[in-house]
Structures are given as C-alpha cells and as structure tokens.
Amino acid sequence: MRNSTLDIRRSAGAVGAEIRGVDLRDPLDDATFGEIRQAFHDHGVVFFRDQHITPEQHVAFAERFGPINVNRFFTPVPGHPRIAEVRKEPDQKKNIGEVWHADHSYDQVPALGSMLLAREVPEYGGDTMFASMAAAYAALSDGLKRTLDGLRAVHSSRHVFGAKAESRGAELSTRLHNPELATQDAVHPVVIRHPETGQRCLYVNRSFTTHIEGWTQEESAPLLDFLYRHGERPEFTCRFRWENGSIALWDNRSTWHFAVNDYHGQRRLMHRITIEGVALG
Ligand code: SIN
C-alpha cells in the first residue's frame, strides 16, 4: 500500500480541509490525485497554500476534475479565455459573490465545482466562507425532509447577470459581460442526491433560486428563507483566509460560498476556473 505524502487537516466540523504536501507545479500522479479528489468529496471544499502556478498549470489541475465550463459573464484573464477574473479594485465598493450561493445553479447542467486561485490579496479581509449543504440537509427534521422530497425549484441568471439586474450597478458592469446571454432558467430538485457521494444535499440558494416550481414567489419566499437561514448556521460553515498562491476548490453541488466584502480601498484579484458537472437528480 502506498504511503501518502499528503497532510489533510479539517478546517471545521462540517466543511473544508486544508491539503499540504503537494506542489501543483509538478504533474500529479494518479494516486495523489485520487487522494485529493477523495478529500474534495469528503469535505466539500479543499484548500491549498503557496501554489504559485502559471495559468497553464491552473488549467491543467482543473482539467483533472473534468472539462472546463467557460463563464459567460465574468471578464476572462487576458490570453486565458478559460480563466475568469474575480477582481475588486481599491476604488470599487461592490464585490462579486457577497450573497450565499452555488455557482451556475442556473444552468441545466450545473457546474461540478470552482477552483479559485489568489493572485493578489488585500492586507486584511476578503475571506471566503463556505457552508455544507449536506450537513444542513441532515439537520432538518424528518417531517420537513418529507415535505421537501419531490419539490423542485427554479433557478435563473437573469436577475443577477441580465441587463436589468439590480446588482448591475455601473461599477459591477465593468466586470460583468454579455447580459444578453442571461437567459438561463433551470429547474432542479430542492434536495439532490450528490452524483459522486450519494449524500442528500439542499440545492437552493439565495442568489439564483427564484421560486419553488408550481408555487408563486410570494408562496415560496417563507420556505426558501427558512432554508437559507438554516443553511447559513455557523456550525455548517468554515471561513478561509487567503494568501497569495492559496487555492480553494469547492463542490457547487454540496456547498454554498460567500465572499466577505470588508477590504474597501485595497485590490483583490482572483483567478477562477469552473468545472463542468452532470445533470442532477
Ligand atoms: C465567487 O463567488 O465565485 C467568488 C468568491 C470569492 O471571490 O471569494
């Protein structure tokens, strides 16, 4: 049996683990990659430190998990159309991602995960929080679990990335593109079975879920709001402090994330790659 060189330490009780002992500038052998993938499934989000990799190495690592999903709305990194920039400049007040969400839930086939690499971090602030939707689901009562079974929810990109989106202030518009492509609406089960782990996970989120299928928005709001407040409970979360060269790789089916916007006057520049997923059931 192979002796692992990886050191995997949990970040919190429900979600997250930091992986040490790997240098992503080197090609990964299958056994090491298998351990990383297992940790990703076990913890929902995995973190790496001091990975000063090139965009090509970033793409190559992401591709080990699956094909890349090119984000239609974010500014690409110059010369690297498959990598999206998540940037906030010192004179900007709004950031990207300051609402709990799961990336791409508005797609018919939502993304497997996202890999964010810190290129330039503020001196303080700009952490990212993660929440486990498997833990959140498991903590619900049997009665509510039965009620959620069979419900489906509608997710949309229009109100976030479309031309009339409230969030599309002049400042964010410089970082978001193609509002005409914000036509995606998708319907997914409110509780999914995770395609790899088989775990049941809550699959609604504050950013992109608009209503329960067959219910009005007004009827949906109290139930969705309860699920959001429940999913945000501190015991389901962890918080990651970035350094230049840090990477977070999160599972968009089993986690939410939230970008804390507490570093006005400083630059924060991240490179994000999103990985294609499979249809959810
Ligand atoms: C995102 O929501 O994808 C961005 C997260 C972050 O910038 O921390």
- DSSP per-residue letters across 75-111: PEETTEEEEEEEEE-TT----S--S-B-TTTTSSS--
- d(CA 143, CA 126) in angstroms, rounded, equals 38
Expressed in angstroms and rounded, the spacing between residue 107 Cα and the centre of ligand 1 is: 18
Whether 259 is in the pocket of ligand 1, judged by its Cβ within 6 Å, is yes
Q: What's the pLDDT score for residue 32?
A: 96
Q: How far is the CA of 129 from the centre of ligand 1 (A)?
A: 9
End-to-end alpha carbon distance in the chain: 36
> What is the rounded CA–CA span in Å between residue 51 and residue 53?
6
CATH of domain 7-275: 3.60.130.10
Q: How confident is the model at residue 139 (pLDDT cuts 50, 70, 90)?
A: very high
Domain boundaries, the chain: 7-275
Amino acid at 272: R
- Whether 225 sits among the annotated catalytic residues: the reply is no
Please compute the mean of the pLDDT values over residues 175-191 and round it to a whole number.
79
Q: Tell me, in angstroms, the distance from the centre of ligand 1 to residue 270's CA.
A: 8
Say if ligand 1 is within 6 A of residue 84 CB: no
Cβ-in-10-Å burial (0-12, 13-18, 19+) of 105 comes to buried
Predicted pLDDT of residue 72: 77
Answer yes or no: are the C-beta atoms of 195 and 253 closer than 8 Å.
yes
Q: What is the pLDDT of residues 20-65, one digit of tens each?
A: 999 999 999 999 999 999 999 999 999 999 999 999 999 999 999 9
> By percentage, how much of the chain surpasses pLDDT 90?
84
Q: In this model, does residue 164 exceed pLDDT 70?
A: no
272 lines ligand 1 (CB under 6 A): yes
20 catalytic per annotation: no
pLDDT of residue 163: 65
Our answer on whether the CB atom of 128 is closer than 6 Å to any ligand 1 atom is yes
b/e burial code for range 127-156 (CB count within 10 A of at least 16 → b): bbbbbbbbbbbeebeeeeeeebeebebbbb
> Counting Cβ atoms within 10 Å, is residue 215 exposed (0-12), middle (13-18) or buried (19+)?
middle
Which one of the listed residues 175, 211, 257, 268 is annotated catalytic? 257
Is the pLDDT at 179 greater than 60? The verdict is yes
> Catalytic: 52?
no
Answer positive or negative: Cα dihedral of 178, 162, 249, 67: negative
For 98, residues 6+ apart whose C-beta sits below 8 A from its C-beta are 258, 259, 260, 261
Distance (Å) from CA 3 to ligand 1 centroid: 34
pLDDT of residue 167: 57
Q: Probe ligand 1: pick from 119, 257, 269, max atoms within 8 Å of CB?
A: 257
* Residue bearing the CA closest to ligand 1, atom 6: 259
Across the range 141-167, mean pLDDT stands at 84
pLDDT band at 244 (very low <50, low <70, confident <90, very high): very high
Per-residue pLDDT at 99:
95
Residue nearest to atom 8 of ligand 1 (CA): 259
CB of 83 within 8 A of CB of 272?
Answer: yes
From the list 123, 105, 64, the residue with the least C-alpha distance to 208 is: 105
Is the Cα dihedral 35, 41, 43, 45 positive or negative? positive
Q: Give 258 Cα–ligand 1 centroid separation in angstroms.
A: 7
Residue of the CA atom closest to atom 3 of ligand 1: 97
Backbone phi and psi for residue 43, each to the nearest 5 degrees, phi listed first: -120, -5
Q: Is the pLDDT of residue 219 over 60?
A: yes
Q: Is it the case that residue 265 has pLDDT exceeding 80?
A: yes
CA distance 47 to 246: 7
| 182, pLDDT greater than 70 | no
- The two three-digit tokens of residue 81, written as one number: 């159309």
